[in-house]
Structure 1
Amino acid sequence: MEKKRGTARVLLECSLSDKLCLVQGEQYAVIIVPTLLVGVFLILLAVILWLFIRGQRSQQQRPGRRGIAPMPSSRGLTQEAPGHEGKIVMPLTETAVGSFLRATAPSLAKLQVPRDQLSEVLEQIHKGSCGNLYRATMITGDPPRPKRVVLKALKEPAGLQEVQYFVGRIQFYQYLGKHQNLVHLEGCCTERLPLYMVLEDVAQGNLLSFLWTCRRDVMTTDGLLYDLTEKQIYHIGKQVLLALEFLQDKHLFHGDVAARNILIQSDLTAKLCGLGLAYEVHAQGAISAARTVPLKWLAPERLLLRTAGIKGDIWSFGILLYEMVTLGAPPYPEVPPTSILQYLQRKKIMKRPSSCTHIMYNIMKSCWHWSEDSRPLPKELRSRIEAAARTADDKAVLQVPELVVPELYAAVAGISVESLPFCYSIL
């Protein structure tokens, strides 16, 4: 111990010219100072990383960032502009909606209906995800007289994309023109929000609800006889085919032919509605991946996600005949909706309902050929329908004793109860 203490004392008491003493003293500075600097650097780096990660998490949780956002509203619109590595979200004022409406005004000028010609009191008849349907009164003609119409209103708040789609639908109706078996456009209100389509009012409602009412012992309501015969089925079917022929001439197809998408008048005039798929094909050249149609009405090529066409509508028309002859029964009642493709791949089709004649069943089967080329075109099928109608029974009323339970129907048909058109169909 004494020896160690002596050595330390000698080093501390050495002169400035002693090299050994200087080296021993600088060893502590060389080790301690860098260690402190590295420690401070690591602490600062950890704080910076923590702040960066926190900022990234808050960005991801905030809607409308990183190019993935809910549909922009008219009061907080965004638009995407090309950036160096992708897309940059840029703020867009609601003046973009006004600019768009002003740009489309000349093409829609002849369709504009002054809002003061529409009744202020609106009767809501359907609530949809994109907007509501209202029954209203429009003053028209000279001398002025009231006319019942249906207003389809764009849901608010509405963003630029929703406004463009809505106005595009109006322009699509304008392109189609009028046909006696399509719900036609009476006009529009698009000079400012809220936006309206003004459509003809088919007061009796959709065919599916009519078929369900026919199951009850109802004589007449509002001038409509709730009875259906075989001949009347052909009458309605012929009108649907006329509408499909019209679409085919425009190089379009409907894509969702079903009783729920047909409106019926008191004289059994049928009007095909639900033209959303036809519009998407017209505007985009294809059906949107987000668009869903109940599987049991789809042709095999649609189930296999192949290119669709008018022959797919012919398949669905066969399902429509089944719906009518069974007074609104769901198709393939013994097959779960998710198993319908496998069922059809085994070359199976629906059996003949007891209320269906062999002539009508043969027409159905001609619609259900697996190969599109083996199915008839609308005009050819209409000729067969007209021939069958000449000898069809016009006296015996179709009867189904069971009343429809909506929840059970929806489960078997593969659709939601909320989507059932109890009073009016989506136009």
Structure 2
Amino acid sequence: MTQVLKKCSLSDKLCIVWQQQYEIIIIPTFLVGIFLIILGVILWLFLRGKRTQQQSPGLQGIAPVPPSRSPNGEAGGHGGSVFVPLKVTSVESLLQTSTHALAQLQVPREQLSEVLEQIYNGSCGAIYRTKMYTEDPAKSKSIVLKTLKEPARLHEIQDFLGRIQFYQYLGKHQNLVQLEGCCTEGEPLYMVLEDVAQGDLLGFLWTCRRDVMTMDGLLYDLTEKQVYHIGKQVLLALEFLQDKHLLHGDVAARNILIQCDLTAKLCGLGLAYEVHTQGAIASTRTVPLKWLAPERLLLRPSGIRGDIWSFGILLYEMVTLGAPPYPEVPPTSILQHLQRGKIMKKPSSCTHTMYSLMKSCWRWREDKRPSLTELRSRLETAARTADDRAVLQVPELVIPELYAAVAGISIESLSYSCSVL
């Protein structure tokens, strides 16, 4: 076009028309190109946001877990002292590598009964209740058998072995679910755990709502004094974890097992395992929003005071016999609810002393909440004068599907599967 214009005289009208056509074509084309590029960027950002929402279960009342701090304020995680190193290329060599570390935990497979009662079937493997025999048949005991699905990939086996070693690292505590042993010399892999026949505390609380005094010869009533008794045991378990620089991260009635004598055993230690072995919690790990402290909801690093906030929710669960927290607030609106300075109202069956304990756990600032030791001391003081005769009563029975929707959890989580790591 430039060459053509050079051959024209200034008075040549046809050349002027060509020059104007050149400007009319190039400038709009340039503007359209910029528009298409901007439109493409906006569309890409929109699709990426939609994909993130679909992958994140936060809209259902569950949030990803932020990094955690150890009780002394440092970042959580202590390397990988109980993590089986993945330096092998086959399942056989991996099992051989871990044989020495788990030698004291091995249970001969012939000691396990062939009669298995399946109590849960998860994505990683089924969970059974069965019996473990000893040399004295009269001393056989019921145990829970967690299995790893077959065929399992190398990293799945590594993770399964790492969780067994984590139990070994923790050691024994009367208020934690105990590891009885394992079968890992070959596939299928088994994790042998103690059986707590009454199941999880949430189901127990729901049973207490029924208008019966006994069931199978066991008393199913709960008093204020017994609530303090159970709460104290949970605090003892949390103190034990704190001494090992561990956080629980998901303190809730569904993650506590209860025995016939009301001995409470904290379970659901998957978050503690991940922080301890990897220094962070897996991005796929999620926790129901309504049990999280504000700093967790804001995706900030959380310390042991985050567990204390959740303990206050646990007290509410117990005194209401398993009611979902914040029943009038949608799970996805819980952060805005707390930011307005609102907390749960005192339940009708709750004394002022217990509600005061709850409120102390729900202080917005972490440093304003009591420590585990302070909280346990206050619980023990309150228990001395607590009513041990008046039975907590809630007339309505629970519909699990409705509870799951209000609490913002999946119906599958309301299962005995919470009893395993």
CA gap of 1:160–1:322, structure 2 versus 1, over 3 A, is same
Q: Which residue of 1 aligns with 2:323?
A: 329
Task: Choose which of 90, 98, 101 in structure 1 pairs with 2:92.
Answer: 98
Aligned: 1:257 with 2:257:
no
Q: Which amino acid aligns with 2:376?
A: R
- C-alpha distance after superposition, 1:194-230 (max 9, x if no partner): 1111001101100000000111012223443110000
Percent identity of the aligned residues?
A: 79
Q: Which residue of 2 aligns with 1:127?
A: 121
SS at match of 1:152: strand
Check the 8 A contact 1:243/1:272 in 2, yes or no: yes
Aligned: 1:183 with 2:177:
yes
How far apart in 1 are the matches of 2:211 and 2:221? 9
SS at match of 2:102: helix
SS at match of 1:178: coil
Q: Which residue of 2 aligns with 1:414?
A: 408
How far apart in 1 are the matches of 2:303 and 2:218? 35
Aligned: 1:382 with 2:376:
yes
Q: Which amino acid aligns with 1:186?
A: E
Check the 8 A contact 1:230/1:398 in 2, yes or no: yes
Aligned: 1:296 with 2:298:
no
Question: Where do 1:228-243 residues align within 5 Å?
Answer: 228-243=222-237
Q: Which residue of 1 aligns with 2:389?
A: 395
SS at match of 1:150: strand
TM-score w.r.t. length of structure 1: 0.76
Check the 8 A contact 1:126/1:424 in 2, yes or no: no
- C-alpha distance after superposition, 1:309-336 (max 9, x if no partner): 2111100000000000000000000100
Check the 8 A contact 1:261/1:426 in 2, yes or no: no
The higher-RCO structure (CA 8 Å, 6+ apart) is: 2
Q: Which residue of 1 aligns with 2:198?
A: 204
Q: Which amino acid aligns with 1:381?
A: L
CA gap of 1:143–1:410, structure 2 versus 1, over 3 A, is closer
How far apart in 1 are the matches of 2:315 and 2:289? 17
Check the 8 A contact 2:267/2:418 in 1, yes or no: no
How far apart in 2 are the matches of 1:114 and 1:121? 16
Which segment is superposed worse, 415-424 or 145-154? 415-424
- C-alpha distance after superposition, 1:19-61 (max 9, x if no partner): xxxxxxxxxxxxxxxxxxxxxxxxxxxxxxxxxxxxxxxxxxx
CA gap of 1:355–1:374, structure 2 versus 1, over 3 A, is same
Check the 8 A contact 1:205/1:424 in 2, yes or no: no
How far apart in 1 are the matches of 2:217 and 2:368? 41
SS at match of 1:198: strand
Check the 8 A contact 1:113/1:187 in 2, yes or no: yes
Task: Choose which of 339, 351, 360 in structure 2 pairs with 1:357.
Answer: 351
- C-alpha distance after superposition, 1:219-276 (max 9, x if no partner): 2234431100000000000000000000000000100000000000000000000000
How far apart in 2 are the matches of 1:139 and 1:238? 34
How far apart in 2 are the matches of 1:141 and 1:244? 36
How far apart in 2 are the matches of 1:400 and 1:152? 35
Q: Which residue of 2 aligns with 1:31?
A: none
CA gap of 1:417–1:169, structure 2 versus 1, over 3 A, is same
Q: Which residue of 2 aligns with 1:25?
A: none
Q: Which amino acid aligns with 1:116?
A: E
How far apart in 1 are the matches of 2:169 and 2:89? 28
How far apart in 1 are the matches of 2:171 and 2:416? 28
Deviation at 1:106, TM superposition (A): 0.2
Q: Which residue of 1 aligns with 2:39?
A: none
SS at match of 1:136: strand
How far apart in 2 are the matches of 1:397 and 1:142? 42
Question: Where do 1:68-87 residues align within 5 Å?
Answer: none
SS at match of 2:145: strand
Q: Which amino acid aligns with 1:242?
A: L
Q: Which residue of 2 aligns with 1:369?
A: 363
- Superposed CA RMSD in Å reads 1.6
Matched pairs, number: 335
Check the 8 A contact 1:231/1:392 in 2, yes or no: yes
CA gap of 1:422–1:112, structure 2 versus 1, over 3 A, is closer
SS at match of 1:263: strand
Q: Which amino acid aligns with 2:103?
A: A
Check the 8 A contact 1:209/1:422 in 2, yes or no: no
Q: Which amino acid aligns with 1:172?
A: F
Check the 8 A contact 1:181/1:270 in 2, yes or no: yes
Task: Choose which of 135, 140, 149 in structure 2 pairs with 1:146.
Answer: 140
In structure 2, list runs of 5 or more residues that go unmatched.
1-85
Q: Which amino acid aligns with 2:244?
A: K
How far apart in 2 are the matches of 1:199 and 1:309? 28
TM-score w.r.t. length of structure 2: 0.77
CA gap of 1:157–1:423, structure 2 versus 1, over 3 A, is closer
Check the 8 A contact 1:181/1:242 in 2, yes or no: yes
Check the 8 A contact 2:249/2:307 in 1, yes or no: yes
Check the 8 A contact 2:255/2:418 in 1, yes or no: no
Task: Choose which of 211, 214, 223 in structure 2 pairs with 1:217.
Answer: 211
Q: Give the structure with higher Rg (CA).
A: 1
SS at match of 1:293: strand
Q: Which residue of 2 aligns with 1:168?
A: 162
CA gap of 1:360–1:165, structure 2 versus 1, over 3 A, is same
